[in-house]
Structure 1
Amino acid sequence: MRSVLLLLAVSAFGCSANPPPRWQEGGAPIVIAPARWDRPDDDSIQIHADGKVTEDGDLLFVLDRAGRVVDKDYEPVAILMPDGHVGGPDNVLLGRVGHANAAPPGSAAAWLAVMPNGQVVRFDDEGDRHDAGVWYGCEGPQKRTCTLVTHVLWVRNYMRNSRGGVSVGVGVMMTP
């Protein structure tokens, strides 16, 4: 069920759409300062002082201090609302982000947490914990920004991984 809701929510990333709600006035204020997420078996993610988020030097998206997220073409992707909801284009809910944890769309259970030492923990559907690297420079109010970046990346990656071609199934019908 979680996968279906997440797939519906992230489908808004793939096409031109109306900006998220409250786009003009902005969402929750966030602190933007340099930080780095060292991920196991993957390139590190950098948050730059100007709000640019990069992976191995390549621009992924840009944050502003009003909680807005735009893609590398500066098209609206998401906004962090004051109540923690993350709104996407066409008023699609993309989950919730707290100070140090985040939940995917349609779930009250967290799928990630940023621990006090910066460790990123991913929770699977059964609640088991998995190491997802360490954030450096994410102390105090900056931690929510790092949590938002992690959440946006995971929603984006889920969307990419869930896109597939047409599948065909064969079934057997039995009649009495």
Structure 2
Amino acid sequence: MGKVVLDVSVSLDGFTAGPDVRPEEPMGDGGERLHEWMAGEGPYGAVDAGVREEVDARVGAVVLGRRTFDLGLGLWGGTPWPGVPSFVVTHRTREDLRGDNGGTFAFDGLTAAARRAKEAAGDKDVLVLGADVARQLLGAGLLDEVSLHLVPLLLGRGTPLFAGERAELVPQGAPLAGSVTHLRYRVVRRRSSAV
């Protein structure tokens, strides 16, 4: 069975989005620069493109927060990866929503969403989108791995990654240097998980 993996771009000062996240700027002011590496351009673009392809190949399901869903639905035109089932962590459940790109959004609580996503992903990984839901999964002992794309950018303020959670992380392989530094860590379990 696959892992539950937070795969996120983060600024050097620890932010996953810029300040003032809003519908017109879903990544906050300046936050979209965190994802420029995904285009695979520039002198180290081949490394970045390879990392992006690897991430895309291993995603079998997605867990995301309600705010990420609300802000991203229009941008994605459906689920974040076409045809891939996505599970929205929320207290405001509703009927499933079929995205324009063939994927389905299901709405559930944290533990149920993680369990359902792992079942749907099979041997592939569950990718986590959203700093708040990642923090909740880490605190609940449901996050297996953290994959960071460390961007040489200082945002000054914005959405912090993990916001006070504590965990022990073990490096998984050597860092890869492209236009950003790609790092992977296994999360050491603090307690047994329900998934």
TM range (shorter): under 0.3
TM-score when normalising by structure 1: 0.27
TM-score when normalising by structure 2: 0.25
Higher helix share: 2
